[in-house]
Structure 1
């Protein structure tokens, strides 16, 4: 009987490609790569301490997912989202993250809420210190923390893909001076909704959060 190829040994480059992909995807989601930035695979390979092959595979995978583009020379770069594509992504985020927040309101434990409150406290500390990197990182943790509470893995994967595309554009928020709204931060509204188990209020808080972000970022973007 011929050997079953289903569980053939994994090629080392395939494993490295997954690791490189995860590293690059995390940088995109977290806004650590900015629109217009070029990603030369040989330089990335040197920085990451791997061969060029897994880096090339990871970059092409991100291109196929719409997170990166290729220029005429085949060099990957972070695209500048046109306003209409950004708006579409944010509308989808409102729908999906709002749904996750509504479900999280029925499932969140006191420990879950305390963890989110600690994340938000670090976010606000970073905001007062005008530390954009901290704000972006803690904002990402907060949003995906809510989704994790909702226990919706399929929705989470879709949202992760949307964040991969829009993450670099979200980084523009750190370049714009912002005052705290008189209505308070939407994260505070969401935390209260989780505490009171109010799905409608949880959804509304997420929608307000994303719309306030979009109102700042959209004017900075060009048209297609």
Structure 2
């Protein structure tokens, strides 16, 4: 007897848990959730206007991905990365985003470069206004804009998973403004490399950008408040 291999149609509408997951994931990537911040699912549910169940599911998914941890009571919180884990993530970002930067330099059209230049203008306006929300949002748009030009969807998904883990750490830069003149910002060299189709120049600009951030953040991570250690616990099975 032949077996029917058809799995049948599925409901394509995104579930509430998926929508909440993406909202929280975007907040982590963009540095809008900060290290040490607790994410109590009932409070989040009230803020998002949904029931606690999809929030709980989303939080557990982020815990399983290493983006969040659970304290001794099972409440999700945003961890501050250990220096060695941060270094590993940054090395992977340099490698993967460097590949995307080099490929984007070969594929970038003038319109692509102009779109990125507009993002950089807004980023620098945010810096002058000391508006870190704008700076973080536009920086994210710039980096993922380059990856979009490279047309490497598999690489993009891997990079997104790294940003989810490291994104909250970027918020620590609020305490250490970047001492770089606008004309010497690594994004400017990156834009020139994209405009002139220079893969190695684009890769070098990306690496300079990430390494300069790392040089400022590593000392801050090494000074993690002792109170955060009390939040850590081996329990990872349920969110409070």
CA distance in 2: counterparts of 1:20 and 1:182, whole angstroms: 37
CA distance in 2: counterparts of 1:125 and 1:15, whole angstroms: 37
Task: Give the structure 1 partner of residue 201 of structure 2.
Answer: 201
CA distance in 1: counterparts of 2:201 and 2:10, whole angstroms: 50
CA distance in 1: counterparts of 2:182 and 2:26, whole angstroms: 33
CA distance in 1: counterparts of 2:10 and 2:118, whole angstroms: 45
Q: Between Structure 1 and Structure 2, how many residues are aligned?
A: 222
Are the counterparts in 1 of residues 124 and 182 from structure 2 also a CA contact under 8 Å?
A: no
SS of corresponding position for 2:15 = helix
Task: Map residues 32-181 of structure 1 onto 2, 5 A cutoff.
Answer: 32-181=32-181
SS of corresponding position for 2:184 = coil
CA distance in 2: counterparts of 1:26 and 1:9, whole angstroms: 24
Superimposed CA distance per residue, residues 130-149 of structure 1 (whole angstroms, 9 cap, x where no aligned partner): 11111111000000000000
Task: Give the structure 2 partner of residue 7 of structure 1.
Answer: 9
Unpaired stretches in structure 1, ≥5 consecutive residues: none
Residue 6 of structure 1 deviates from its aligned partner by 3.8
Residue 178 of structure 1 deviates from its aligned partner by 2.7
Q: TM-score, normalised by structure 1?
A: 0.94
CA distance in 1: counterparts of 2:166 and 2:98, whole angstroms: 17
Given the alignment of the two structures, is residue 20 of structure 1 paired with residue 20 of structure 2, yes or no? yes
Task: Give the structure 1 partner of residue 236 of structure 2.
Answer: none
Q: TM-score, normalised by structure 2?
A: 0.88
CA distance in 2: counterparts of 1:192 and 1:9, whole angstroms: 46
Unpaired stretches in structure 2, ≥5 consecutive residues: 230-240
Structure of higher RCO (CA pairs closer than 8 Å, 6+ residues apart): 2
SS of corresponding position for 1:145 = helix
Superimposed CA distance per residue, residues 69-115 of structure 1 (whole angstroms, 9 cap, x where no aligned partner): 01111100000101110011001000000100000000001110000
Residue 8 of structure 1 deviates from its aligned partner by 4.5
